[in-house]
Amino acid sequence: MLEFVEYPAQSTHKASIIWLHGLGDSGNGFLPIAPELGLPADLGVRFIFPHAPEQPVTINGGMVMRAWYDIKSFDLDKRADETGVRDSSAQVEALIQAELDKGIPADKIILAGFSQGGVIALHLAPRLKQKLAGVMALSTYMCAPQKLADEAVQAELDIFMAHGSQDPVVPMMAGRQAFDTLTTQGYTVSWQDYPMAHQVCAEELTAIRTWLLEKLA
């Protein structure tokens, strides 16, 4: 099981948000966002922030860091190592199963991810047997989008996407390509973009809070 840090539910645990960080970060990177979102205590939301495994990353000279998969090339169509994406997706699926085993229904579980973490979220959620309450994909792109139609198990899925229009790491065009793939698949996808780089901004957090309240109320 992946190690993680958590922000516990402020009342009886009724819902879970599993939030995946980006390359070189850890679960601690997004932990402060949980109280900042200010979700009502009676929603009983537990936040889980897993740490990606440590592995060498090719584009960073083979330096070992927390990464959900290796990045061998900056080219977007080759950026996500598919084997690594599938391996990490299986590990995140185990975290979801642990919440289901605690009695949290799938429609009260949100899978969120930033950058690399968003790639895992967008890969895993459509392929799960259980339909989640929603997916949050921030400043991210897709791995093997051409395989989605054949591999998707979920016919319906609610997805929140947000991106920085000045992102130098993952160009907004990559996010829009993912948006197009997902909408073609028939999923309900909302799109937000902000005049920011590869980050999360205050206005985006407000939109995230509104969407989470809608999905978990």
- Catalytic sites, residue numbers: 115, 167, 198
Rounded CA-CA distance 4/34 in Å is: 14
DSSP state of 10: S
- In this structure, is the dihedral angle defined by the CA atoms of residues 69, 71, 198 and 190, taken in order, positive or negative? negative
Residue with tokens 């160009």: 171
For the chain, the distance separating the N- and C-terminal CA atoms, rounded to the nearest angstrom, is 29
Contact yes or no for 13/55 (Cβ under 8 A) = no
3-state SS class at 54: strand
127 contacts: CB under 8 Å, gap ≥ 6: 89, 151, 152, 153, 154
Angle at 18 between CA 192 and CA 207, to 5 degrees: 25
